[in-house]
Amino acid sequence: MALLFFLFSLVPLASAEIWCYSCVSNQPGCRDGVNWYYHHAITCPREDDKCVKVIERKGDELLYTRDCLSNLEAYRHDIPADTYEGCRAAAEAPKLAVFVENNVKEWELKRDYYDKVDYCFCEFWHWCNSASSAQWNTSLLAGSFLLVWLSRKF
């Protein structure tokens, strides 16, 4: 029984997809750290996908966006070309809204409201776009083994 449980617990670790959090910081439980009671993981659609955490700063205001890279590529035009593991500044998008006459500044077509935008990429651990590391996954696995061992003992 314990061997079967161990083999089933390794299935997500051996799959080709990655699990990421998908939330924005104006939702509860999605600030600097992610509350996993509120936000469950999504599986990224592409095989070579990465988890992304976007940090946008304007003075004291911070906006966190967490999602898969393939979901952000459709509407974010400032994703850096280097998407390997780590954090880096957003790329420039000089051709964004060039031929648009915009008199309503609230539309923010050029996406230049935030002073500093950083992208943090990760691809080696499930749920790696949270603030904490993947220690929850390991501790849950160890705790479940302990429960199975204790149930067999008594």
Asked if the structure places residue 1 within a domain, the reply is: no
Q: How far is CA 148 from CA 7, 64, 141, 142, 153, in A?
A: 14, 38, 11, 10, 9
Q: Residue 26 belongs to a domain with what CATH number? A: 2.10.60.10
Residue 67 covered by a domain:
yes
Mean pLDDT score, 75-104: 84
Q: Is residue 131 part of a domain?
A: yes
In a domain, 78, yes or no: yes
Inside any domain, residue 154: no
Does pLDDT of 48 surpass 80? yes
Average pLDDT over residues 137-143: 61
Backbone φ/ψ region at 32: left (φ over 0), alpha (ψ -120 to 50), beta: alpha
Q: How confident is the model at residue 140 (pLDDT cuts 50, 70, 90)?
A: low
Whether the predicted model's global pTM rises above the 0.75 cut: no
pLDDT level of residue 135 (50, 70, 90 thresholds) = very low
50 domain-assigned: yes
Number of folded domains that form the chain: 1
Domain-embedded: residue 140: no
Lowest mean pLDDT among 34-43, 66-75, 119-128, 142-151: 142-151
Cα(75)–Cα(95) distance, rounded to whole angstroms? 14
Q: What is the pLDDT of residue 103?
A: 76
The range of the structural domain enclosing residue 82 comes to 16-95+107-135
Residue 28 inside a domain? The answer is: yes
Tokens linked to 118: 């950083």
